[in-house]
Chain A
């Protein structure tokens, strides 16, 4: 059974600090990895996608992928209160079809 594991949190981080979110997955054939942000009662919105081992940076966000260890992480620098949300990790075997989502980590940025 394909599984995507995340610490449910809540994770509390002071404003301006770095928030670190982690995700592990069980299916070794996973090739595409995504981080989504979901505000309460809203649909997920894509933050980052990553397909190759290493780091990928986009503004304040950095995704890190290690396929050998089967984990993917998301770093949020200079955390803002507006970053408070649930962050969902999602993986797919190829492309971005049939995503398997983790349970999400609830992040709270403390002003």
Chain B
């Protein structure tokens, strides 16, 4: 069964609103979580690395004030897309890993559509 749960799987929102996506590790403590974005027929692009209890590290070109990441516990990280616009429509995927040497597990992704 899934070891990383991502919710919601699909969300449609209006332009200007904010959307929160949750990523939970179900049976392990995730010291690090990663957030990716994937446009149609494109590869996964890393947006940010989230470490429990500290600020996320954003990749170049990713607006930290627009994509708010919170990793308040060892089993939960959230990505909030603030003031969403149609160009933010994408497939957002989280992944999580435990300690050093542990495998990386992906969530099932969230399809965001901004109208």
Contacts and interface: CB of A to CB of B under 8 A. Distances in A.
Instruction: Tell whether A pairs with B.
Output: yes
B104 interface: yes
Contacts of B104: 46, 96-97, 99
Interface residues of B, number: 21
Interface of B: 6, 32, 34, 42-46, 49, 91, 93, 97, 100-101, 103-104, 106-109, 111
Interface in A37-60: 41-46
Given A41-B111, A43-B108, A96 B42 contact: no
Contacts of B111: 41
Interface size class of A (residues with CB under 8 A): 10 to 19
- Name B's interface SS: strand
A62 interface: no
Nearest to B94: A43
Given A43-B93, A43-B107, A99-B46, 7 more contacts: A42-B108, A44-B44, A44-B93, A46-B103, A98-B34, A98-B49, A100-B46
Contacts of A103: 42-43
A101 to B, nearest CB: 4
- What 4 A-B pairs have minimum CB-CB distances, sorted nearest first? A43-B106, A101-B43, A103-B43, A101-B44
